[in-house]
Amino acid sequence: MIPAIGLGTFRLKGQEVIDSVTNALELGYRHIDTAQVYDNESEVGQAIADSDVPREDIFLTTKVWTDRFRHTELVESVRESLDRLGTDYVDLLLLHWPSPDGVPIEETIGALAEAKQLGLTRQIGVSNFTIAQLDEVLSVGGGDQIVTNQIEVHPFLANRKLADHCAARGVKVTGYMPLAVGKVMEDDTLKAIGEAHGVTAAQIALAWVAQRDIIVIPSSTKREHQQANLAAMKLSLSDEEMTRIDALDRGERIANPSFAPEWDE
């Protein structure tokens, strides 16, 4: 079971990420998300080690970067991540993006499943995989062990077609950038709904994602924002409010690097 809310650490470095993880754990977060390419695994690991929260109570995710997708390279990269994180295992290991280099998916998923078999990770999944790519993953050896597809989800990119397909295939959706890098705070609809509930537009955005049965991993460096994000998980939006937020979808994709796949529209 992946906790419904986690702390994202994308773009957080050095003392900033240490403080962010430390505050989050003190406030009650038990799900921390990092990645090899974030270049902050050591700091995340330090914050976890220095925390009073036992390691077994923390759900820790990291992601393998695309340059380590060959079988032996992938397993070795996970061992390196564990060394940096100062732990014997992660709870969830993801492929960060589909391979831009044409590494056969059978090889990569096989290596991911082997990492799980070796006890380096408890669960495995993917990130930024399209409908066709997810179906391919699920069809190869080890693919039946995939538990989540981590994708961009926020009110301006509902990503509904892909999210619905994941659900239909029994794959949980984890939504990153749920606050659209702060843009939700400027939206009049979200602000109006927030005022009706006595909360912020950001909290409404998180509640909307969570109410779609999607895990949220907002990034935040401020303790009060982290606390507000946690509180958003207790909000309940009406069908009418959900529909109003649904109407904000404009296909506004933020994470779209040159090597990204051809997205589902």
Q: Which residues are catalytic?
A: 38
Closest CA to 152 of 24, 52, 225, 260: 260
Dist CA 16 CA 153 (whole Å): 25
Which amino acid appears at position 202 of this protein?
A: A
Closest CA to 118 of 170, 150, 71: 71
13 to 9, 17, 37, 54, 81: CA distances (angstroms):
8, 5, 12, 23, 16
Give the CA radius of gyration of the chain. Answer: 18
Which amino acid appears at position 209 of this protein?
A: V
Dist CA 260 CA 99 (whole Å): 9
Yes or no: say if 48 and 60 are a contact pair by the CB < 8 Å rule.
yes
118 to 36, 80, 190: CA distances (angstroms):
19, 14, 45
String of b and e for 2-12 (b: at least 16 CB within 10 Å)? bbebbbbbbeb
Tokens of 190: 């979200």
